[in-house]
Amino acid sequence: MPGGGPECGGSVVVYLKGDGDGRIADLSFTGAGDTISMGAASIIMQKVHDDNLSMAEVLDLDYGTFVEELGSEVVGSRTRNATLGLSTLKSAIRRYLRERRPDTR
Amino acid sequence: MSEQEIQEKGYARPEALVTTEWVAEHLDDQNVRIVESDEDVLLYDIGHIPNAVKIDWVEDLNDPLMRDYLDPEKFARLMSEKGISPDTTVVFYGDRNNWWATYALWVFRLFGHDNVKVMDGGRVKWEAEGRPMTQDVPSFPSADYPVPNRDDSRIRAFKEDVMSHLEDHNPLVDVRSPGEYSGELLHMPDYPQEGALRGGHIPGAANVPWARAVREDATFKSADELREIYEGEAGLKGGDDVIAYCRIGERSSHTWFVLTYLLGYDKVRNYDGSWTEWGNLVRAPIER
């Protein structure tokens, strides 16, 4: 799932593999961008791994809280850069869940 | 590169560029203030030219509420804090081929601070030459900076100016990537507010991606090479009334700098509303 824009702020591609049970089997990203966007993307990927977050838990993560954890003096008003990784990850999860939804009759 | 090599590039106003060598010799010059302005705003904190101050284009130069630049009182206060007086020679440098350095320089020019220069090659050249960098943040005594008059009309275009520019068939330069110019690239998923509702370009605009003005080492190309691009290819000629634009006016300030100082055009304006405005503007004409 791609996110962001290459010319301004940064862009990432998130690679997500689910285990079929709402948990994340594998997660990585590639990207190019400024220190804030790349650093924050790296931090969120690490957090998901360290805290063993499920897909539902990632979707529940609050952007404002995440920015506070990064440090608002560091992020300043570049919140878009700081949340690029997390928002792209959420998009990847939503897409995964959409595509795996069983047919309803 | 010595100052002579800048002279040899044949610019209209060669004094607008200084070499890394010149900056190294003027680190302690009280009449000079070195300003770092980056897209990647944390680079300064990681390491910067000794005695350089940071100007964060987003936090320092913008109005926090309305889409505009700061007001004259705030500009005067910012100058005072950075130890810049009206006579100070301000030398800008930064990352991304000095793209944000020229944007900050352009904003300074709105307030009539005309004693401005760019360090050719920017941050990457200083580093490549192994010159010293520091994390020490300098503090300068507050300077006296009287509240200036702000006159946007000389170098800034608003959408009404673009409309009349179109009626007069005057040249426009679109400095975005070819994909944005053609309308293929609208916006990336999840960031619809970053793009525009419509893709394409302002009718009649020539496409010259901004980074064509620089070499691999981030220094500006020679005047001959630039003329080949902007005149030979894009059809501009000296004396033209030109408006440059991109997405939010940041890349086009780089081109504004090139046309104004390096090629000596005296009627160049930066349309900072750019595509984020035009591509969302009801009934604004578009070409693909």
pLDDT at position B182 over 60: yes
What share of chain A in percent tops pLDDT 90?
A: 62
Q: Is position B140 within any domain?
A: no
Q: Is position B249 within any domain?
A: yes
pLDDT at position B142 over 90: yes
Q: Is position B133 within any domain?
A: no
Please check whether residues B121 and B160 belong to one and the same domain.
no
Q: How far is B18 from chain A (nearest CA, A)?
A: 26
- The mean pLDDT of chain A is 87
Write down the pLDDT at residue B3.
78
What CATH number should be reported for the domain holding residue B55? Answer: 3.40.250.10
Residues of the domain holding A61: 2-96
Number of domains in chain A: 1
Q: Is position B147 within any domain?
A: no
Q: Is position B75 within any domain?
A: yes
Number of domains in chain B: 2
Write down the pLDDT at residue B5.
84
Q: Is position B287 within any domain?
A: no
Interface check for B194 against chain A (CB to CB < 8 A): the answer is: yes
- The mean pLDDT of chain B is 94
Q: What is this structure's pTM?
A: 0.89
pLDDT tens digit string along A59-103?
999 999 999 999 988 898 888 889 999 999 999 999 999 888 765
pLDDT tens digit string along B70-107?
999 999 999 999 999 999 999 999 999 999 999 999 99
DSSP A18: E
Please check whether residues B34 and B81 belong to one and the same domain.
yes
Q: How far is A5 from chain B (nearest CA, A)?
A: 6
Q: Is position A79 within any domain?
A: yes
Q: Is position B142 within any domain?
A: no
What band does A4 get if pLDDT is binned at 50, 70 and 90? low
Is A88's CB within 8 Å of B190's CB?
Answer: yes
> For B119-129, what is the mean pLDDT?
97
How many other CB atoms are found less than 10 A from the CB of residue B96?
22
What share of chain B in percent tops pLDDT 90?
A: 87
Write down the pLDDT at residue A103.
53
User: Quick check: is B103 catalytic?
Assistant: no
Q: Is position B135 within any domain?
A: no
Q: Is the ipTM of this complex over 0.95?
A: no
Q: Is position A102 within any domain?
A: no
- Residue B204 in tokens: 């009649």
Interface test with B, best of A1, A7, A59 (most B CBs within 10 A): A7
Residues of the domain holding B30: 3-128
> For B207-226, what is the mean pLDDT?
96
pLDDT at position A7 over 80: no
Is A77's CB within 8 Å of B59's CB?
Answer: yes
Identity of the residue in B39, B64, B194 whose CB atom sits nearest the CB atom of A5: B194
* Beta carbon pairs, A and B, within 8 Å: 58
pLDDT tens digit string along A18-33?
988 889 999 999 988 8
Task: State which H helix or E strand residue A103 sits in.
Answer: none
Is B39's CB within 8 Å of A34's CB?
Answer: yes
What band does A53 get if pLDDT is binned at 50, 70 and 90? very high
What CATH number should be reported for the domain holding residue A68? Answer: 3.90.1010.10
What residues of B are in contact with residue A11 (Cβ under 8 Å)?
188
Q: Is the dihedral of CA B223, B229, B235, B240 positive or negative?
A: negative
Q: Is position A19 within any domain?
A: yes
Q: Is position A58 within any domain?
A: yes
Return the SS3 of A76. Answer: coil
Write down the pLDDT at residue B64.
87
- In sequence order, what are the residues at sequence separation of 6 or more whose Cβ sits closer than 8 angstroms to the Cβ of residue B85? B79, B143, B144, B145
